[in-house]
Amino acid sequence: MPATALDIITGALKRINVLAAGETLDNLSSQDALIVLNDLLDSLSNEHLACYQRVENILNFTSGQGTYTIGTPQGGTFLGIVTNGSNIITGVTAMPSGIVVGGAVTGNGIPAGATITAIGSNTVTLSAAAIGTFPLSSFTFTTPGNFAV
């Protein structure tokens, strides 16, 4: 059962031995305590230094869509060839069924943050060019949700 503001105030006053078990606050004292509690909550909500990190994600919703997925919950691996300076992984013999445009790719020669921009019958095009040549390597991919945060 959710606690009310009065429950929080009463519990705090009992903890610091202002109220004894079974005692109740009068109206005036409870109103004063509520003002103090609201001031405390306001000060905590504005305390940005207490936050380790703040990230703002701007999400675009689609009209008529009621359910969305968040993050990168799925993925897999595949084999392919990367060539330095090219943004295309070639020689993919078994294209995974779950691979989609927008997913992230990691592996030998792939720069950090590279994502899939196109999928061919035996190629995967990336958002960034390879930073090395690897004749046959294993690559890991993720399948992003509607919101990849």
List, as one string, the DSSP characters of 85-99.
Answer: T--EEB--SS--TT-
Cα separation of 116 and 125, whole Å?
A: 6
Among residues 135, 145, 141, which one has the least CA distance to residue 78?
141
pLDDT above 80 (res 2): no
Task: Provide φ and ψ at 144, rounded to 5°.
Answer: -70, 155
Amino acid in position 101: V
- Summarised one tens digit per residue, pLDDT across range 75-93 is 889 999 999 999 999 999 8
Which residues in 68-103 are b (16+ Cβ under 10 Å) and which e? Answer: eeeebeebeebebbbbeeebbbeebeeebeebeeeb
Are 29 and 79 members of one domain? no
Into how many domains does the chain fold?
A: 2
pLDDT above 70 (res 103): yes
This prediction's pTM: 0.53
Strand partners, 137: 80
Q: What is the pLDDT at residue 60?
A: 86
Are 78 and 116 members of one domain? yes
**Is 17 a domain residue?**
yes
Q: Domain limits at 10?
A: 5-50
Are 94 and 37 members of one domain? no
Are 78 and 137 members of one domain? yes
Are 82 and 138 members of one domain? yes
**Is 61 a domain residue?**
no
pLDDT above 70 (res 46): no
Output the furthest CA–CA distance in the chain (Å, rounded).
79
Are 126 and 90 members of one domain? yes
For the chain, what is the mean pLDDT?
87
CB count in 10 Å sphere of residue 126? 21
Strand partners, 48: none
